[in-house]
């Protein structure tokens, strides 16, 4: 079994694209269009951040600001000053299928001093963003991806999220069952087998799963399987094969579950996608 975060990341392709690195003297604005999130590493100086819910705050370097979804926001240096900032667009493939993104708040802002182990990554990213060396773009993009993974790891280990899949992965016992579902979506999971995997009684597991994750375990498994199925349908696999790989014994059972989540049949969803 893979670790609790890697099992999610293996299903969704993390991509970062650094589009600014260096000093800012004027406002940087993002209009919120598109589904890509935004990562801002404030390396030096002080910036004023304005974002979701008309939130406005001063961010003292070094800090990391992560907005997992496309929301309007802006950064500007303190009056009469400049700041060193690295900005990247971040995506995980299809955001609608990713329980990781659904469990994150609109904004995560963390001083890097609270995140042990990031000093090397953020220093290297800041220095590479100012250089124009061979392979520059590939290096800064990969470093930005590392920072995102480190931030997600911090959220799990610190228990900073109180609902959704990441909150479940932060729970020592629930994470065993959730990771097992992520790793083996086609396994014949039942509430009893999931509870046994978590090392809990059936009733205790069911109650704690719904409280922490926000949905019953069976509903989470169904949504995860449908998300896996959508990825397979995109690749052009036949519906019968997709149903099997997603954990359903028949195409009719698969179609019913798919329609419950997507309000359309698998074939209708694929036609609409085309």
Query: Tell me, what's the pLDDT at 62?
Result: 86
Which residues of the chain fall short of a pLDDT of 50?
A: none
Query: Tell me, what's the pLDDT at 61?
Result: 76
Closest CA to 140 of 19, 7, 247: 19
Query: Tell me, what's the pLDDT at 41?
Result: 92
Query: Tell me, what's the pLDDT at 14?
Result: 86
Model's pTM, two decimal places? 0.81
User: What CATH number is given for 171-273 in this structure?
Assistant: 1.10.10.60
Instruction: List, for residues 15-41, the tens digit of each pLDDT value.
Output: 999 999 888 888 888 887 777 899 999
The pairing of strands 55-60 and 28-30 is: unpaired
Query: Tell me, what's the pLDDT at 125?
Result: 85
Write down the CATH superfamily of domain 6-158.
Regulatory protein AraC (2.60.120.280)
Q: Residue ranges of the domains in the chain?
A: 6-158, 171-273
Closest CA to 272 of 72, 262, 7, 22: 262
Q: Are 144 and 39 in contact (CB under 8 A)?
A: yes
């Amino acid at each position: 079994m893979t670790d609790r975060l890697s099992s999610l990341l293996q299903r969704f392709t993390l991509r970062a694209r650094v589009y600014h690195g260096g000093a800012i003297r004027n406002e940087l604005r993002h209009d919120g269009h598109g589904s890509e999130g935004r990562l801002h590493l404030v390396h030096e100086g002080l910036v004023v951040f304005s974002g979701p819910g008309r939130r406005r705050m001063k961010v003292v370097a070094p800090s990391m600001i992560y907005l997992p979804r496309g929301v309007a926001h802006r950064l500007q240096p303190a009056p009469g000053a400049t700041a060193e900032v690295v900005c990247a667009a971040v995506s995980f493939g299809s955001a609608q299928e990713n329980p990781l993104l659904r469990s994150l708040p609109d904004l995560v802002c963390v001083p890097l001093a609270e995140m042990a182990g990031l000093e090397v990554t953020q220093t290297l990213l800041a220095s590479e963003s100012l250089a124009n060396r061979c392979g520059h773009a590939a290096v800064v993009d990969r470093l930005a991806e590392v920072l995102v993974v480190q931030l997600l790891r911090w959220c799990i280990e610190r228990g900073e999220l109180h609902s959704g899949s990441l909150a479940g992965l932060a729970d020592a016992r629930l994470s065993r069952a959730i990771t097992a579902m992520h790793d083996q979506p086609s396994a014949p999971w039942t509430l009893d087998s999931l509870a046994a995997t978590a090392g809990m009684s059936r009733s205790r597991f069911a109650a704690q799963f719904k409280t922490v994750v926000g949905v019953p375990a069976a509903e989470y498994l169904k949504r995860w399987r449908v998300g896996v199925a959508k990825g397979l349908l995109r690749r052009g696999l036949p519906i019968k094969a997709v149903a099997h790989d997603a954990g359903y014994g028949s195409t009719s059972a698969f179609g019913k579950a798919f329609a419950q989540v997507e309000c359309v049949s698998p074939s209708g969803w694929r036609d609409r996608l085309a």
